[in-house]
A = this chain, B = another copy of it.
Amino acid sequence: VLEDREYHDVTMDDVSRRAGLAKGSLYLHFPTKERLFRELVEDMHAELLESLDRVRGSSAPGEPRVRALIAAQLGFFERHRGVFLQVFQGQMPFLCGDARRSRDMVGATLRVTTDVIEEAVRLRRFRSLDGPTAAIGLFGLIRGFVFAHILCGSSPALGSRAGVIWDLFFRGARA
């Protein structure tokens, strides 16, 4: 439903109609509208963390792992394009009014990113960088492309930007 209307314009009526349930039945599963959407976002976030975790198992440390991490995030945002269109446009209280939870979600992503980057530093693939700081940078870089992608329609495909992001992050702009 969020792909059509923003959070505040989505009524429980809309949700129930889409769910093929009666309005009252929604309340058998979620005590509150806020909780319903919070769980939606948390599910999505769990999925992201899971896919970031899989990065560790399925790729070699260093460059391949960083690239896999970038790809995993792009894939995640592409899969949930509709919802993030809302989130980025600020249409959905990202975590339904709970800043700490928002911090936690971003924090978890940053922690994984930091680990992967520090790994690459240890392997001398990256120069000596402050892990958390570089993680913020990479995080922002990725979101920048996601943002642009979502805002400007769907071309070019988000997945295809992984190479560009890696190139910018790895080599920088320097001549």
Residues in chain A within 8 A of chain B (CB atoms): 6-8, 85-95, 97, 99, 102-103, 106, 110, 117, 120, 124-127, 129, 133-134, 136-145, 147-148, 151-152, 164-165, 168-175
Contacts and interface: CB of A to CB of B under 8 A. Distances in A.
**What's the dominant secondary structure at chain A's contact region?**
helix
A174 B144 contact: no
A152 B103 contact: yes
Nearest to A92: B90
A91 B93 contact: yes
Contacts of A127: 171, 173-175
23 contacts: A6-B97, A8-B93, A88-B90, A89-B95, A89-B102, A90-B93, A91-B93, A99-B151, A110-B148, A124-B175, A126-B175, A127-B171, A129-B173, A133-B164, A137-B141, A137-B165, A139-B144, A140-B142, A143-B144, A169-B172, A169-B173, A171-B174, A172-B172
Contact of A170 (B124, B144, B173): B173
Nearest to A144: B140
